[in-house]
């Protein structure tokens, strides 16, 4: 076994008498480059967020009373169930309302009206959406607000229905509570915060009338997807950043099966779809909005 992973962590006694774990960055990188492929995850996606992961791993090593990162690697190799624990440490929970303003502006100005027209042409009454990896609800609720304040007045004959999924039950619980710090709302368009939220104990809580269109479900996108047919999928800064390429391809195929012809897929601004023969075509370059061929 390579010695590259040795001495990645050392224990030091702090001034308060408590032990703390210090992790050397190069050793953390080497560990992640070894471990992530075992979970169908990609190292490049974790470069900028690895410190969030490292803190969780350090706490786990301390809880298991292991000596260092090499000992944790050996523990993983002899305790298969620990991989699920490590997988949980690799969930990145960075989100906020109206994240990437240009994308949400275009969703409000063009995507939702276009899809509403498609819904009408099909003789349907609901524009059905899926927010994949919804975290604490910022993305699907942003979609509700965009629909309410920009799209719905022009297409009052169409309703909006969103299924929002995340693998983390704690995040889903936060989404149902719908209360957020001021920092989470700082990118909302002017006036939206005051129109849609009530200030309660220092947090902004979304009013009930803006919650009813969203159904939150604990679900792992790697294993299953909501049943279609769907008109719009938002899968941003998740599958196409953190997942292995073959897993990405499988997910794209399932999205294809769920979306109606003419439906749209929105991914992260710094993401791209895997290189496969796909029915999806970039709709409004350079923004990452794709449309399924009619």
Q: Average pLDDT, whole number, for the chain?
A: 90
- Please tell me the distance from the alpha carbon of residue 218 to that of residue 197, in angstroms, as a whole number: 25
Q: How does pLDDT run across 62-117, given as a tens digit for each residue?
A: 999 999 999 999 999 999 999 999 999 999 988 999 999 999 999 999 999 999 99
Proportion of the chain above pLDDT 90, given as a percent: 84
SS3 content of the chain, % helix, strand, coil (to 5): 45, 20, 35
Query: Length of the chain in residues, anyone?
Result: 294
Torsion of CA 76, 80, 86, 91, to 10 degrees: 150
Handedness of CA 240, 90, 226, 103 (dihedral sign): negative
Residues 6+ apart with CB under 8 A from 1: none
Q: Are 234 and 266 in contact (CB under 8 A)?
A: yes
- Please tell me the distance from the alpha carbon of residue 194 to that of residue 252, in angstroms, as a whole number: 38
- Please tell me the distance from the alpha carbon of residue 119 to that of residue 158, in angstroms, as a whole number: 8
Give helix 69-78 / helix 50-64 axis angle, nearest 10°. Answer: 80
Task: Identify the CATH class of 101-292.
Answer: alpha beta
Tokens for 75?
Answer: 């523990």
Cα atoms in the Cβ-side hemisphere of radius 13 Å centred on 51:
2
End-to-end CA distance of the chain: 53
pLDDT top residue among 171 and 19: 171
Tokens for 120?
Answer: 């009408």
Domain range summary for the chain, segments of one domain joined by +:
3-89, 101-292
Tokens for 4?
Answer: 């590259």
Ordered strands of the 203-206 beta sheet: 179-180, 203-206, 197-200
Per-residue CA distances from 237 to 2, 163, 206, 271 (Å): 33, 18, 24, 7
Which of these, 270, 266, 268, lies nearest to 282 by C-alpha position? 266
pLDDT top residue among 16 and 264: 264
CA-atom Rg of the chain in angstroms: 21
What is the enclosing helix (H) or strand (E) of 140?
A: helix 138-146
Cα atoms in the Cβ-side hemisphere of radius 13 Å centred on 83:
12
Grade residue 1 by pLDDT with cuts at 50, 70 and 90.
Answer: very low
Grade residue 272 by pLDDT with cuts at 50, 70 and 90.
Answer: very high
286: left (phi over 0), alpha (psi -120 to 50) or beta: alpha
Q: What is the pLDDT of residue 153?
A: 60
Rounded to two decimals, the pTM is 0.90
- What are the residues facing 162 on neighbouring strands? 129, 214
């Amino acid at each position: 076994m390579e010695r590259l992973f040795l001495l990645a962590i050392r224990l030091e006694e702090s001034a308060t008498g408590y032990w703390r774990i210090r992790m050397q960055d190069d050793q953390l990188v080497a560990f992640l480059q070894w471990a992530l492929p075992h979970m169908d995850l990609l190292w490049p996606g974790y470069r900028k967020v690895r410190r969030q992961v490292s803190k969780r791993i350090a706490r786990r090593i301390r809880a298991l009373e292991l000596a260092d990162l090499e000992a944790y690697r050996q523990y993983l190799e002899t305790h298969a169930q620990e991989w699920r624990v490590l997988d949980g440490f690799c969930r990145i929970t960075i989100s906020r309302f109206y994240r990437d303003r240009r994308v949400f502006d275009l969703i409000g100005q063009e995507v939702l009206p276009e899809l509403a027209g498609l819904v009408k042409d099909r003789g349907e009454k609901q524009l059905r959406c899926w927010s994949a990896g919804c975290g604490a609800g910022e993305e699907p609720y942003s979609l509700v607000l965009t629909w309410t304040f920009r799209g719905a007045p022009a297409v009052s004959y169409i309703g909006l229905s969103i299924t929002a999924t995340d693998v983390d039950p704690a995040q889903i619980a936060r989404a149902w509570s719908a209360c957020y710090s001021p920092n989470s709302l700082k990118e909302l368009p002017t006036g939206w915060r005051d129109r849609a939220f009530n200030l309660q104990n220092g947090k902004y809580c979304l009013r009930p009338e803006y919650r009813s269109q969203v159904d939150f479900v604990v679900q792992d996108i790697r294993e299953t997807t909501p049943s279609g047919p769907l008109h719009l999928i938002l899968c941003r800064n998740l599958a196409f950043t953190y997942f292995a390429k073959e897993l990405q391809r499988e997910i794209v195929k399932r999205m294809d099966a769920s979306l109606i012809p003419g439906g749209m897929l929105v991914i992260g601004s710094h993401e791209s779809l895997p290189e496969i023969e796909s029915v999806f075509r970039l709709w409004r370059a350079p923004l990452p909005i794709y449309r399924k061929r009619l």
